[in-house]
């Protein structure tokens, strides 16, 4: 059972890695195209701003939302990938933690 669960987690990790990699290219292209990101942006009085190193620029709401969703999807996929691979290694007991001195 443990081997099967580890195999499922590894397969999910590969799937999430592929999803994260596919989302990474649009994330970079949107950042270059919009001169910033909605993750660092803001909505002020129904005006949408994306922010980057050079400052903030106002964009249409649709670009703000696309940027936000693509970034969120990419970060979530990479986080899920990390959790799946760590779970896989923990199930197979490949991941060990160093033993330190006993706590007193």
pLDDT in tens, 46-91: 999 988 888 888 889 988 888 888 888 888 888 887 877 777 777 6
- Is pTM beyond 0.75? Reply is no
Percent of the chain with pLDDT over 90: 8
* Amino acid 103: pLDDT: 66
Residue-level pLDDT at 63: 86
Domain range summary for the chain, segments of one domain joined by +: 2-61+81-91
Tokens of 81: 């990938």
């Amino acid at each position: 059972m443990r081997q099967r669960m580890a195999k499922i987690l590894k397969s999910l990790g590969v799937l999430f890695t592929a999803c994260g990699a596919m989302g990474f290219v649009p994330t970079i292209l949107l950042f270059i195209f919009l001169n910033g990101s909605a993750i660092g942006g803001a909505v002020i009085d129904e005006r949408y701003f994306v922010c980057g190193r050079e400052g903030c620029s106002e964009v249409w709401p649709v670009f703000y939302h696309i940027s936000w969703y693509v970034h969120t999807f990419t970060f979530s996929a990479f986080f899920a990938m990390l959790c799946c691979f760590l779970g896989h290694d923990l199930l197979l007991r490949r991941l060990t933690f160093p033993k330190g001195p006993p706590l007193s």
